[in-house]
Chain A
Amino acid sequence: MSLTAPSAAKIGHPNIGREPLWVRVVVIGVVIAFVTLMLVLPLIAVFAQALSKGLSPFVEAIGQPDSLSAIGLTLITAAIAVPFNAAFGVIAAWAIAKHRFVGKSLLVSLIDVPFSISPVVAGLAYILVFGLQGWAGSWLIDHDIKIIFAVPGIVLATIFVTFPFVARQLIPLMQAQGVDEEEAAASLGASALKTFWRVTAPNIRWGLLYGVLLCNARAMGEFGAVSVVSGHIRGLTDTMPLHVEILYNEYDFVGAFAVAALLCLLAIVTLILKAALEAFQPEVAANAV
């Protein structure tokens, strides 16, 4: 932050200030028009469609057992995948940003795999490993463990897809912060664990929170990978995005859009939470002085 601030002050603002008025109006206008057309209108459309026949069909659609089960499964999946990836992301970022070891750049590239690979491929890969015909298939049947077309598969696929969010958020942050404070803590007698909890963790908590919120939004919304491994068993292995598709394909538009609206609502709450937390950062405000 401190690196970009001076150059922005020198180059950015004065130049924009000197642009002719019409340029500013056009640029800002284009951005607002684009955001409205592409982002805001579709959102409004979802809510409008969901409430097109009034509030009671909306509530009824959500109250159906299959919908409730889909909502429950989505929440359970996120509740498992997000903490797992938060923990992994912190450990990975810590290892990568604060230590030197062989194969580090390879590890950094590997963390990006879920971003660069199609989620459908990820789902298929899990079927290949854990499916009936897969490598671990017969062993899993012998031990009566069901992963594919069951909840564990959905959780695994979600973890795979949301793997990079926290680590990607934290690695540049921790690299920018360097190891000086950790070394200072060590020289003052703090153990590695105390150094992490009292120095490293507080310095990354806001970055971690952003990562977790983004990870959560994606975990609840993931469609592709989950669709492949879920098997679409209504009331058992349907998550909210899958349920939206099923209802839509059955021409139950109010139902589909009601669940979709709820999904949007969860995302919007996530964003509001993020903005609200940004506003309450006492020491960030102090650091900006």
Chain B
Amino acid sequence: MPYDLEHKASEAGLTAPSNALEGPPPEDRAAVSVRGLKKQFARYPALNDVSIDVRPGELLALLGPSGSGKTTLLRTIAGLEFPDEGQVLFDDVDVTYASAAARRVGFVFQQYALFRHMTVAKNIAFGLSVRKRKDRPNRKAIDARVAELLKLIELEGLGKRYPAQLSGGQRQRVALARALAVSPRVLLLDEPFGALDATVRKSLRRELRRIHNAAGVATVFVTHDQEEALELADRVAVLNLGRIEQIAAPDVLRNHPATAFVAGFVGEANRLEGAARGGVFRLGALELAAEGVADGPALAFVRPDQFELAGQGLEITVERVTLAGLITRVDAIDAAGHRLEIALPRGTEAGALVHGAKVFVKAVGGRVFPAT
């Protein structure tokens, strides 16, 4: 019997990551499915009719400014908050009001929440050691699992340390290992890199991707950093004021933002306030195709590389010119006083681009939305 449990533990573990990818194609079913979630906090709605599917094995980012409801959504999936309305489904089973303990999710807290009185090894083993006797792997199996996870997070030999004796990045990885130890159905991370400095952040990002790939478990992480979301995630859900603005792959989000909010929040697009008429957006002499946009005030989002110098168009005053590799970055200001950031191929009209010079630009691309 002990052998049996041991066997089961290793089978459910990291040694068989391909398990998660077997069965029907990923698109056919969702590991986690959230339907019509609503949650009201004292004054404002935290979640306003949110629906989202997390596909098996994918890495999904919840991106949004603070107060957008992204953390509330994550905690609702984990069973740490409960919605006023709507459903949470795990593999098509309704768990909306199931306790966190019953859900078998891996949750990594922003401040890690490691058990301070336990060693690293005890922390990682916790989820297995609190199981009911009949489901609990024996001691040897737990030790083996801990060793395996310590190896995965590259902290072998630190099992006997206490959390306070680790660096921020190490604690983060221990929290990840502790969450993975129970072979969760879904891994949930709340601002996983929020408390770390910039260099550690970058390397841990790659680390998370590697661990995610090795464990093969569907992962959802919350972030307010668009660069982090776009670099790391398979898909990104952009949240604003408790609503999902768009769920898409990073390049889709960047090139085809569905709403003005996404266009403004993702990427580094310039925001131009003009007017649409007859399917054309105009700001001064700058024109941009705006098919399907109703006549009236409109917003155009134009990326820095979507501008070109032209004989006529929007008149701008050059403030600063920076040479960055093959690109000339120009900080400029238009007649209305709005700042613009423009990226031109190196060498274009270099002579004209000096501080204080007035030049014209046109937009060769960009997205137009009705102003609300």
Contact = CB atoms under 8 A, between A and B. Distances in A.
A190 interface: yes
Nearest to B188: A187
A180 interface: yes
Interface in B74-125: 78-80, 99-107, 109, 111, 113-118
A289 B130 contact: no
A286 to B, nearest CB: 4
A100 to B, nearest CB: 12
B213 interface: no
Interface string A167-207: 00000000000001101111111110010001100110000
B182 interface: yes
B101 A287 contact: no
B117 A283 contact: yes
B360 interface: no
Contact of A289 (B100, B114, B116, B164): B164
Contacts of A203: 116-117
Contact of B101 (A189, A283, A289): A189
Interface in A39-84: none
- The majority secondary structure among interface residues of chain A is helix
Contact of A187 (B107, B116, B165): B107
B243 interface: no
A187 B164 contact: no
Contacts of A188: 101, 126-127, 130, 178-179, 181-182
B104 A286 contact: no
Nearest to A203: B117
A180 B127 contact: no
Contact of A180 (B113, B179, B181): B113
B115 A199 contact: yes
A180 B100 contact: no
B107 A181 contact: no
B194 to A, nearest CB: 14
A185 B109 CA distance: 11
Contacts of B109: 180, 183-184
B126 A187 contact: no
Contacts of B117: 202-203, 283
Nearest to A282: B162
A181 B115 contact: yes
A196 to B, nearest CB: 12
B80 A186 contact: yes
A184, A194, A202, A289 — most chain B CB neighbours (10 Å):
A184
B35 interface: no
Given A189-B104, A191-B101, A184 B162 contact: no
Which of A180, A189, A283 is the most central at the interface, judged by chain B CB atoms within 10 Å of its CB?
A189
B131 interface: yes
A75 to B, nearest CB: 32
A185 B99 contact: no
A288 B165 CA distance: 9
B130 A198 contact: yes
B337 to A, nearest CB: 43
B127 A287 contact: no
A187 B130 contact: no
Contacts of B127: 188-190
A223 B181 CA distance: 56
Given A189-B182, A191-B101, A287-B164, A183 B116 contact: no
A288 B102 CA distance: 35
A181 B178 contact: no
Contact of A286 (B79, B106, B131, B165): B165
Nearest to B113: A180
B113 A181 contact: yes
Nearest to A199: B115
Contacts of A189: 101-102, 104, 127, 130-131, 182
B228 to A, nearest CB: 22
B72 to A, nearest CB: 14
A248 B164 CA distance: 55
A187 B115 contact: no
A185 B106 CA distance: 10
Contacts of A198: 115, 126, 130
Given A180-B109, A181-B116, A283-B116, A187 B162 contact: no
A190 B101 contact: yes
B130 A283 contact: no
Interface string A253-289: 0000000000000000000000000000001001111
Contacts of A199: 115
Interface in B251-307: none
Contacts of B105: 187
Given A186-B101, A194-B130, A287 B80 contact: no
Nearest to B107: A187
Contacts of A185: 115, 126, 130
A279 to B, nearest CB: 18
A278 B33 CA distance: 50
Nearest to A201: B117
Given A181-B114, A287-B116, 13 more contacts: A180-B109, A181-B115, A183-B80, A183-B113, A184-B109, A186-B79, A187-B79, A187-B80, A187-B106, A188-B130, A190-B130, A198-B126, A288-B164
23 contacts: A180-B109, A183-B109, A184-B114, A184-B178, A186-B80, A186-B101, A187-B101, A188-B130, A188-B179, A188-B182, A189-B104, A189-B130, A190-B127, A191-B101, A199-B115, A202-B115, A202-B118, A203-B116, A203-B117, A283-B117, A283-B162, A289-B164, A289-B165
